[in-house]
């Protein structure tokens, strides 16, 4: 099915560029891909790098596409969606954070097949994690198409209830920042203990990378992996005890609940 689908991106920023690159790497022909963006330099860059057709107006792209991907900033989505004449047969895939599918459906004229996706920034290096939700108008074939598109830049997970995308936002959408903050903290602590700054940074980043790779490739869950590297009476145990005494789990619960609640607020604000 993907071999025949014409896929158009409205908005051609970093995430759209990553998806286009991922799709081409996965075997999708450049002749199936289109992008619309008001910025001439961005359009030219996409044409040069991927040999895809670009447009300076959204309607021309919509007219030629089977799948229309909204890759614009959330605050711009209403203007974009209400300015086009939507095709009833098309699949509309939104990667604009926070905008409910019901709002998008209303802006497009109702009864449209809409999938919402919550990707994260590691998609830029084809290592993303995306949560997906489909409204009632989306067919099984369209769900498979949407999943194939997001799988080009990483892992995909479907949620049955749209409000769970707020939890996805709190976990994986905002999650890269949590890992970066842990790396930053480890780097600064390493410097305080006497390591050169560049050494501390390299060790923190590589340790994060290696730990995530281990968690992905070994069947043990993170809690089991943590216990396996925590020898009784050893150095790691002392560090873990300090984290537990300062309620690290509780801090993460509070932080992610705050992120989830803010996602709900933004959905209400931007979906009007």
Q: What is the pLDDT of residues 113-154, one digit of tens each?
A: 999 999 999 999 999 999 999 999 999 999 999 999 999 999
Cα 172 from chain centroid? Answer: 8
Instruction: Look at residues 141, 165, 189 and tell me which one is the last residue of a structural domain.
Output: 165
Could you tell me the pLDDT band of residue 157, with boundaries at 50, 70 and 90?
very high
Give the residue-averaged pLDDT of 41-48: 95
Say if residues 225 and 214 touch (Cβ distance below 8 Å).
yes
Q: Which single residue is written with the structure tokens 């014409």?
A: 6
* Tokens standing for residue 50: 């991927």
Instruction: At 94, give phi and psi (nearest 5°).
Output: -105, 125
Task: Check whether residue 73 and residue 147 sit in a common domain.
Answer: yes
Task: Check whether residue 252 and residue 145 sit in a common domain.
Answer: no
* Long-range contacts of the stretch 139-144 (C-beta < 8 A, 24+): 139/113, 141/1, 142/91, 142/113, 142/115, 143/115, 144/1
Q: What is the pLDDT of residue 228?
A: 96
At residue 70, the 3 state secondary structure works out as: strand
Closest CA to 107 of 126, 88, 86: 86
H or E segment to which residue 34 belongs = strand 33-36
Cα 169 from chain centroid? Answer: 9
Q: Quick check: 164 pLDDT over 70?
A: yes
Could you tell me the pLDDT band of residue 1, with boundaries at 50, 70 and 90?
low
Strand-pairing partners, residue 53, are 34
Q: Quick check: 98 pLDDT over 90?
A: no
Say if residues 158 and 135 touch (Cβ distance below 8 Å).
no
Q: Which single residue is written with the structure tokens 């949407």?
A: 146
* Tokens standing for residue 10: 């409205």
Instruction: Look at residues 140, 165, 190 and tell me which one is the last residue of a structural domain.
Output: 165
Q: What is the pLDDT of residue 92?
A: 98
Q: What is the pLDDT of residue 74?
A: 92
Task: Check whether residue 39 and residue 138 sit in a common domain.
Answer: yes
In a domain, 75, yes or no: yes
Instruction: At 18, give phi and psi (nearest 5°).
Output: -65, -45
Give the residue-averaged pLDDT of 37-57: 95
Q: What is the pLDDT of residue 166?
A: 95
Q: Which domain holds residue 242?
A: 175-266
Task: Check whether residue 16 and residue 147 sit in a common domain.
Answer: yes
In a domain, 271, yes or no: no
Q: Which single residue is written with the structure tokens 């609640």?
A: 261
Question: Over the chain, what is the mean pLDDT?
Answer: 96
Neighbours of 32 (CB within 10 A): 20
At residue 199, the 3 state secondary structure works out as: helix
CATH number at residue 38: 3.40.50.720
Q: What is the pLDDT of residue 68?
A: 98
What domain count does the chain have?
2
The model's pTM is 0.91
pLDDT tens, position by position, 210-244 = 999 999 999 999 999 999 999 999 999 999 999 99
In a domain, 170, yes or no: no
Cα 103 from chain centroid? Answer: 20
pLDDT tens, position by position, 169-180 = 999 999 999 999
Instruction: Look at residues 143, 165, 187 and tell me which one is the last residue of a structural domain.
Output: 165
Share of the chain above pLDDT 70, in %: 100
Give the residue-averaged pLDDT of 157-167: 96
Could you tell me the pLDDT band of residue 4, with boundaries at 50, 70 and 90?
confident
Task: Check whether residue 142 and residue 232 sit in a common domain.
Answer: no
d(CA 225, CA 94): 36
pLDDT tens, position by position, 100-109 = 999 999 999 9
Task: Check whether residue 180 and residue 133 sit in a common domain.
Answer: no
């Amino acid at each position: 099915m993907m071999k025949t689908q014409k896929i158009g991106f409205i908005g051609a920023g970093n995430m759209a560029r990553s998806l286009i690159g991922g799709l081409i790497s996965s075997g999708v022909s450049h002749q199936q891909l289109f992008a619309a963006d008001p910025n001439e330099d961005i359009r030219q860059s996409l044409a040069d790098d991927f040999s895809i057709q670009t447009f300076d107006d959204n309607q021309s792209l919509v007219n030629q596409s089977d799948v229309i991907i909204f890759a614009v900033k959330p605050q711009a989505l209403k203007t974009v969606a209400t300015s086009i004449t939507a095709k009833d047969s098309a699949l509309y895939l939104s990667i604009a954070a926070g905008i409910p599918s019901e709002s998008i459906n209303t802006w497009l004229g109702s009864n449209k097949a809409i999938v919402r996706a919550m990707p994260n920034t590691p998609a830029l290096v084809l290592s993303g994690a995306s949560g997906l939700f489909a409204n009632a108008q989306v067919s099984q074939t369209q769900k498979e198409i949407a999943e194939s598109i997001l799988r080009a830049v990483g892992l995909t997970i479907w949620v049955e209830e749209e409000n769970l995308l707020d939890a996805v936002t709190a976990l994986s959408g905002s999650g890269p920042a949590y890992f970066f903050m842990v790396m930053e903290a480890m780097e600064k602590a390493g410097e305080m203990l006497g390591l050169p700054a560049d050494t501390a940074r390299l060790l923190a980043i590589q340790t994060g990378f290696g730990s995530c790779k281990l968690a992905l490739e070994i069947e043990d869950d993170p809690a089991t992996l943590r216990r396996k590297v925590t020898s009784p009476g050893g150095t790691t145990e002392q560090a873990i005890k300090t984290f537990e005494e300062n309620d690290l789990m509780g801090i993460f619960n509070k932080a992610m609940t705050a992120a989830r609640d803010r996602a709900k607020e933004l959905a209400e604000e931007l979906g009007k």
